[in-house]
A and B are shown apart, each in its own frame.
Chain A
Amino acid sequence: MAFPTFVPPASTTTGQPSAHNDSEIVLQTQALTKVFGSRTAVDHLNLAVRRGEVFGFLGPNGAGKTTTIRMALGLITPTSGSVEILGQNVWQQRDRVLSQVGALIETPALHLYMSGRDNLQAVASILGTADARRIDEVLGLVDLSDRQRDRVSTYSLGMKQRLGVAVALLDDPQVLILDEPANGLDPAGIVEMRDLLRRLATQGKTIVISSHVLSEVQQICTRVAIINHGKLVTTSTIDDLTRGQGYFVIHVEDATRAFAAIKSQPWGREATLEPNLTIHTAAPDGRGRDLVSFLVGVGCVPDQVAYEQVQLEEVFLRLTSTPGAANGGA
């Protein structure tokens, strides 16, 4: 993995918004490592998240996502390595850096004995942003306006999760780090959360999401990093991860003959003939056009050729199923 050795411009070190710059790195970890006893939870992790990205941070259970996020937020001390946010070291400039970062870590952390509104009020006074209008605004954003006076102990998990996001959004931070934001949300809630994150992204906010719901990530993330056993497996755009990994579904009259012809080709060795007499195959150099002309050439004019996009899930499982494959770190 190659990472740009990008030095953020001086203007970002003051925390002032700089002109929108696609390549400006907002969050960067360098050889970040955390060892708990004899277990290495995060192992020389290098990540770089650019301004305005919705960055997916993926990995199986216990991969080290939460540990990484906790280090990025200054909650646990890295064993070695460093985290920079907005060009500043998190451990040296905690207050300046982290006041620009809204976060949700695992389960929503709320005062159950207080109302939803009071929870926001408490955080607002701590952050020095006590402003009733902003509290109304974020309550509206997460659709909790009509339950704001109820004690949080009476909320459903999804409502707590949304209130957790509201807390993270309270003072309009530039960077949002959300650990499993879809946790406990029903399908409608997931769609709403996705819309909310999309809108925030269009505002130029940088969003890091760790998630297990890969279809979610696939729909909103511009790039993803996949980690396993604390090590980076890959960083890539979703397109790059899934491109060329799909397959073509062919409906053709003489399926058996077409299948035999495809099977005889080097690119078609993995082809399968499905029970419904459709053929699933790769194409020469991944190009559908060449597949069609090949079929026409062997006299099997297809009725239909469709491309099936591979799901992120499949790529993810392939990349993380063998421990030995986890070797993409620095």
Chain B
Amino acid sequence: MTGFLAIFRRLEGPQTVGRGPAFWGLFALVLAAALAYPLFSDGYTVGNTVYFFVWVFIALSLCLIWGYGGSLSFGQTAFFGIAGYGYGVLTINFGSAYGFTLLALVIAVAIAALFAVLLGYFMFFGRIAGVFLGIVTLAVTLMLERFMAQTAGPEWHIGSARLNGFNGMSAMPPLTIPWPGEPIVLFADIGLYYLVLGLLVFVYLALRILMNSSFGNVIVAIRENPERAEMLGYDIRKYQLITFVIGAALAGLSGVLYTVWGQYITPSSMGMTAAALPLIWVAVGGRSDLTSTVIGTLVVLAAFQALTIYGSQYALVFMGVLLVLTVLIAPNGLVLGVMNWLGRIAARFTQRAG
């Protein structure tokens, strides 16, 4: 029991909004609703929800690197693409037997993380920061997009996987769990839903623990004042690199799940628009808080999709307007602003009651 309470305490702290029985009670309710929801819905809608969930991982990666770490990275889509293509190449070559797709997921995420180790080492140990970090990461992303876009010819293949240029790679097998008798194939509906929901809850809670740990303290310290952090004896380059790699792995996870969900991936998933959209979700939600990021991303995605029915150009304009409104009204994020406001009301309420 005390061990359980100790873990609970580590989920809370100054780096994350939401604490106490009220918050966790609400969390449990939302989780229960999320678990029950597919039973009352149809496969298509559930699949669409999975699609929303998939993007939350890349949003969280940006929240970590940008919101907490203070480094604006446009490179998350590059890791998204690397892992997505990685999964495709692996599974098209080796198939889905013996649970290989699950291993491919892990390897693809690891490849993205490894790429982040190289890029991050060059940037952070070369003391590239601020605007320059944004420029370097954007350049890497666009270079990858350009490169993949010109791989249409048959000479561009890895094993039996054709890269296919702008048409992208498709028909990779979905995630498959080996099972005596018949393997369980996680198509983009209920099966994949529970896997992705599970991953989402795990990642969210793990990041809460990470950000409220002494490691998280150093990360926000570097955001606030890197010189001061170093002069407290922290090798800030190491902390920045580790954060960057964790972020890359999360973006990579997004990429693999996206590829698994639609069974395709194209170079445009690494393009300019793809790089900009997560920035908007995270900025609108509240980049310096995990919960705000999750809520903001889901809400904005749903609104975006609803508007796309009337034409995607309106939806993009809407995103622009939303971003401007955020910058003007609540520079730290609309959702975060609302949550802080609710927190203050709750505090006043308990004060009066007590």
Asked if chains A and B come from one complex, the reply is no
A residues whose Cβ falls under 8 Å from a Cβ of B: none
